[in-house]
Structure 1
Amino acid sequence: MKTTTFSTLAALVYAATAFVTPQVRDSSSSSSIDDTDVLNYALTLEYLESNFYAGALNNFTQDDFINDGLPVWARGRFEQIAAHEKAHVVLLNNALGSNATQACTYDFPYTSPSSFAALSQVLEGVGVSAYAGAAQYITNSQYLTTAAAILSTEARHAAWVAGPVNKENPWANPFDTPLSLSSVYTLAAQFITGCPSTNPSLPVKAFPALILDNAAPGQATNVSADGVNAEGQYVAFFSGLSTTFVEVQNGQVVVPNNSMSYAVLSSSNTTADDSTISAGVAILSFPFNSNGTLSSS
């Protein structure tokens, strides 16, 4: 069975890099988050995506894509996605003016066009979840409309990369999965190696790593967390607009039957937010076929 987890793709970065991540501040109060915070949070993510695509396209030629088994038209579409992400950076910079955060430096663990495409699927999916989760904090209606326009384009990217390119599920649910600012930041920070000290702080926190070992839908999987005792806590699985809480017993949880979910470790069996999350975020993606059933390959 093919299983894709974000932590697996990011392991090379953890092994090789000492992080100097974006400046953070207390994330406990949503009332302290304003439109400038949300736009800078979005810009931080768009910088990361723009650099991700530019770097890969500089490294891999059309022949590299074809020789690695990707469709002949794949690289051209990735060039268009790269242009979209660059346009998002320009738009957000113009909206923020002198308040705009600056780009960081990055390290992405792709080694081939196919591993780049796999990580692209992950980043685009996280981008959709980031905008969906951040929408609640935007008060300016014009900014909200702009964010919605970016979100829908990111969703098109995610579906195209997952479906035609990687031959996986172009969607997982009737609804996309919103993620909190801190959950997205925890995922994105794994690829950031340094940031300008003058960058404005973000209202986020980073969580320790959560690992679900060889997870499969409906099966028990081993749970471990970096520096955290998981026993007796709960793994919260976010899928669409639903959250399923499963208690960690004897170091294991049974994974829900979802094709795609995000997982965090929470001290609560009813709430998974910055006040209760003790580790995460793990990404689980399983190959459901066109009939909506789990594929064997």
Structure 2
Amino acid sequence: PTPMPHTPAGGIGTSNHIPVYHPLSDFDFQSLQLGLYQEYIELDLFEYGLQKFSVDDFEAAGLNAADRFLIEFMAEQEAGHAQLITNMLGPLAAQRCSYQYPFNTVAEFVDFCQKLTRWGESGVYGFLEHLDSRDAAQNLLQSITTEARQQMIFRQFEGLFPMPVWFEVGITQSMTWTLLAPYVKSCPQHNDQAPLVWANFPTLTITNNPSGSDPNFPPAVSTNRTQLSAPGREVNFQWEATGKSVGPDGKYTTSSTAGPAFYAMWQSQLNTTYTPLYNIGGDGLSASTCQPDGFVYPGDPVVNGTIFVTIVDQQVPFVTTSNISYVNPHIVAGPAVYQSG
């Protein structure tokens, strides 16, 4: 087609393109459906935290009325995001579920929010450029950029440096569903009409994960806070065997096609980095490794911020966010969220 005036040849949808805001493939539908599950838990999480904790609880944690209103507004954003994806998916769009959360204090609530929004954001980056429907991808991009702001705000609420990396990483749909599913308690029967097809890998736990919560670092716009971890730090893992029922009403089962565990795979910024495991348990369900060193570019450590670590059976070469799904067949367990800074 003839390019529009003042428009160079090339590009996608640049010449008299009529947008179509719905899935164009099963891949599109399943990716957007997963995104809808993520939007709903964020909506519920923000509302639940505001209901569970008193004004005094929030004030004691350094969060005032304006901060609480910001969380309330984030919930309104999530309602809009859920409506957007529902409109694109049509009648088989998932409905809001009931959830279970691992926190008992405001500090733990904030920490969980900044981790959950991290995997929600990274989970979309991992599939956004692979959607057949570029118009649906454009809509989703405009919602996920909002979520990126939410994640940074929760880092500020936790007293962490707001953005310690130069780039944000992407993860696969199966990684996202693995992280999300344990917190989805039950769902309406309607959701059984279009169940998610993504894998649920065994849950991975980092038993000595650094904590982002520190009373010496209250909520702040920015905090010049030392990184929570360093290259060479020993990191200890435990993971579950396959075959566990997870997700809404226990309708999903963890699985893996990988061989024995040999490496930890670190996903951060533009990089995928492998470190060998040692002290591998006799049952094959525990191990240790050392945090890797190195830089993306000079001045930008490869491991920093809120990142992902996964146990794999081998090193899959030349993997970036663009082709990260190539590692799925090699995942033994995880990912887990690692709080490196």
Q: What interval of TM-score do these two structures reach, taking the shorter chain for normalisation?
A: 0.7 to 0.9
Q: Which residue number in structure 2 is paired with residue 54 of structure 1?
A: 47
Q: Which residue number in structure 2 is paired with residue 179 of structure 1?
A: 171
Q: 3-state DSSP class of the match of 1:259?
A: coil
**Structure 1 residue 286: Cα displacement:** 2.7
The answer as to 2:191 corresponding to 1:206 is: no
**TM alignment of 1:1-297, pairs within 5 A:** 33-163=26-156, 165-199=157-191, 200-215=194-209, 216-217=229-230, 218-227=232-241, 233-251=262-280, 252-257=288-293, 258-260=303-305, 261-270=307-316, 273-287=327-341
Q: Is the Cα–Cα contact under 8 Å of residues 68 and 112 in structure 1 kept in the other structure?
A: no
**Structure 1 residue 232: Cα displacement:** 5.5
Alignment-mate amino acid for residue 269 of structure 2:
G
Higher helix residue share: 1
Matched residues in 2 for 1:108 and 1:232: separation? 29
Matched residues in 1 for 2:261 and 2:82: separation? 43
Q: Is the Cα–Cα contact under 8 Å of residues 308 and 337 in structure 2 kept in the other structure?
A: yes
Matched residues in 2 for 1:55 and 1:158: separation? 17
RCO comparison, higher one (Cα < 8 Å, 6+): 1
Cα shift readout 1:128-170 (whole Å, capped 9, x = no counterpart):
101101203312122111111111100011111102x111132
Q: Is the Cα–Cα contact under 8 Å of residues 238 and 262 in structure 1 kept in the other structure?
A: yes
**Structure 1 residue 71: Cα displacement:** 4.1
Matched residues in 2 for 1:79 and 1:108: separation? 18
Q: Residues 233 and 110 from structure 1, CA distance in 2 versus in 1: closer, same or farther, beyond 3 angstroms?
A: same
**TM-score in terms of structure 2 length:** 0.70
Q: 3-state DSSP class of the match of 1:187?
A: helix
Alignment-mate amino acid for residue 259 of structure 1:
N
Matched residues in 1 for 2:276 and 2:130: separation? 31
Matched residues in 1 for 2:336 and 2:205: separation? 7
**Structure 1 residue 72: Cα displacement:** 4.5
**Structure 1 residue 32: Cα displacement:** 7.3
Q: Residues 231 and 94 from structure 1, CA distance in 2 versus in 1: closer, same or farther, beyond 3 angstroms?
A: closer
Q: Is the Cα–Cα contact under 8 Å of residues 122 and 170 in structure 2 kept in the other structure?
A: yes
Q: Which runs of 4+ in 1 moved over 6 A?
A: 228-231
Q: Residues 210 and 184 from structure 1, CA distance in 2 versus in 1: closer, same or farther, beyond 3 angstroms?
A: same
Which deviates further from its counterpart, 65-74 or 123-132? 65-74
**TM-score in terms of structure 1 length:** 0.79
Q: Which residue number in structure 2 is paired with residue 11 of structure 1?
A: none
Q: Residues 102 and 75 from structure 1, CA distance in 2 versus in 1: closer, same or farther, beyond 3 angstroms?
A: same
Cα shift readout 1:17-58 (whole Å, capped 9, x = no counterpart):
xxxxxxxxxxxxxx9743222221111111111111111122
Matched residues in 1 for 2:83 and 2:38: separation? 13
Alignment-mate amino acid for residue 87 of structure 2:
N
Q: 3-state DSSP class of the match of 2:335?
A: strand
Gaps of 5+ in 1: 1-30, 288-297
Q: Residues 203 and 230 from structure 1, CA distance in 2 versus in 1: closer, same or farther, beyond 3 angstroms?
A: closer
**Structure 1 residue 255: Cα displacement:** 1.1
* Larger CA Rg, structure 1 vs 2: 2
Gaps of 5+ in 2: 1-23, 210-228, 243-257, 281-287, 294-302, 318-325
Cα shift readout 1:97-156 (whole Å, capped 9, x = no counterpart):
212112221011222222211111111111110110120331212211111111110001
Matched residues in 2 for 1:249 and 1:128: separation? 32
Taking only aligned residues, the RMSD between alpha carbons, in angstroms, comes to 2.2
Q: Residues 137 and 68 from structure 1, CA distance in 2 versus in 1: closer, same or farther, beyond 3 angstroms?
A: same
